[in-house]
Amino acid sequence: MFAIAWIAGVAFGLRSLFHYENGPGGIGALPTSWPATQIERATDRPTLVMLAHPHCPCTEASVGELAQIMARLQGKITAYVLFVKPKETGNDWEATTLRRNAEAIPGVKVVFDPDGVEAQRFGAETSGHTLLFGADGALLFSGGITALRGHAGDNPGESAIVAIVNNQTPVRTQTLVFGCSLANRPAAGPPAQCLK
């Protein structure tokens, strides 16, 4: 009897883990063009914006993929990573490896987003949500740049961005986003877990 209960428990746990790993995060109301924001859009090339939570372990893979994109598109895009920062947090709250990794990518500007105001303007609800806007301000791509939660490697989002910037037709212009919720995160310390 114990063996049956144990097997059932393990099966349930594996099923839950599979669902969690493959479950995308939410996407808000996306702008069709560059929103009214504090971030400066380039007018001579596309501008990429990634919205992120500095404590989201899933976003490590997204930042790694962003490094790959920037290496492939050297000088062809302007890129930002906006880290959501609750107002009640201190400066040490944002001192994470994820932030340092984003700052180390050549050509990427890291900006802090107090209380996620900018994330709302861009329609992002999930850490790792990446948007690409044309030089004219039109939204060209929206979604994640990982195939699954926390998984690095070739994926449709990365391929789409590279194709668009190189004036090729992408297979898709929207992908699912895998990461922690940008809202309702604890003010101190890392999130307990990534949420769908």
User: Which CATH number characterizes residue 144's domain?
Assistant: 3.40.30.10
* pLDDT top residue among 26 and 113: 113
Residues 6+ apart with CB under 8 A from 53: 59, 83, 84, 127, 179, 180, 181, 182, 185, 191
**Per the confidence metrics, is the pTM higher than 0.85?**
no
Number of domains in the chain: 1
What is the domain extent for residue 38? Answer: 25-165
The pLDDT assigned to 39 comes to 94
Beta pairing class for 78-85 and 129-133: unpaired
Average pLDDT score over the chain: 82
6 domain-assigned: no
Nearest residue to 140 (alpha-carbon basis) of 182, 169, 102: 169
* pLDDT top residue among 27 and 17: 27
184 domain-assigned: no
CA 122-193-125 angle, 5° bins: 10
